[in-house]
Amino acid sequence: MATGLLLSYKLTGNRINALKVSTVNTRRDQPMMYVDSRYINLARKSELLQHEHAMNQLRRQVAQLSKAVAWELEQHHSHLMELQQVEDTLTGKNQPAPATQPNPEPAPPSTGRWTKQRNHNHRSFRKPVAELVG
C-alpha cells in the first residue's frame, strides 16, 4: 500500500479554504486519483476568478486616475495661459485690437413712421434769458 494525502476543503465566496490534510492508504495498483486533484482544480478556478476581479478593479482605478491626471493637466495649462495673458496685458504686449464690426453698406435715411423727429437745441435757436424773464 502507498500513502497519499487527503485534503478537506471548503468553498467560501471566491476562495477555497483548506480545512484538514490527512494521509490515506491506497493500493499500489490504483492510480493516485483522489480529492486533491479536485481541490487543485477548484483552487485554480477560484484563484483565477479572484485575480480577474482584482485586475478589473485595478483597471477601473487606473482609468479614474488617468482621467484625473488629464483634467489636472488641462487645468494647469489653462491657468498658465491666463497668467500669460495677464502678464502680456501688464507689459503692453499683444494688446488686442479694439473690436470693430465690419461696416455694412450705409443704409439710406429712413423716412418711415418709426423715425423720431429731432429737437434741435442749438445756441442759435435759443432765446436770450433776458427775453424769457422779461
Does the residue 57 lie in any domain? Answer: yes
Does the residue 107 lie in any domain? Answer: no
Does the residue 72 lie in any domain? Answer: yes
In the chain, the number of structural domains is: 1
Q: Which three cell numbers stand for residue 128?
A: 436770450
Q: pLDDT tens for the chain, 134 residues: list them.
A: 444 444 555 556 555 555 544 555 556 665 554 557 888 899 999 999 999 999 999 999 999 999 999 999 999 999 999 999 999 999 987 655 556 666 666 665 555 555 556 665 655 555 555 565 55
Cα 44 off chain centre by: 37
Does the residue 30 lie in any domain? Answer: yes
Query: How much is the pLDDT for 38?
Result: 82
- Give the predicted TM-score (pTM) of the model: 0.40
Query: How much is the pLDDT for 1?
Result: 44
Q: Is 68 left (phi over 0), alpha (psi -120 to 50) or beta?
A: alpha
Does the residue 80 lie in any domain? Answer: yes
User: Which structural domain range is residue 69 located in?
Assistant: 2-91
Does the residue 28 lie in any domain? Answer: yes
Measured at the alpha carbon of residue 58, what is the angle toward residues 53 and 63, in degrees to the nearest 5?
130
Does the residue 113 lie in any domain? Answer: no
Does the residue 101 lie in any domain? Answer: no
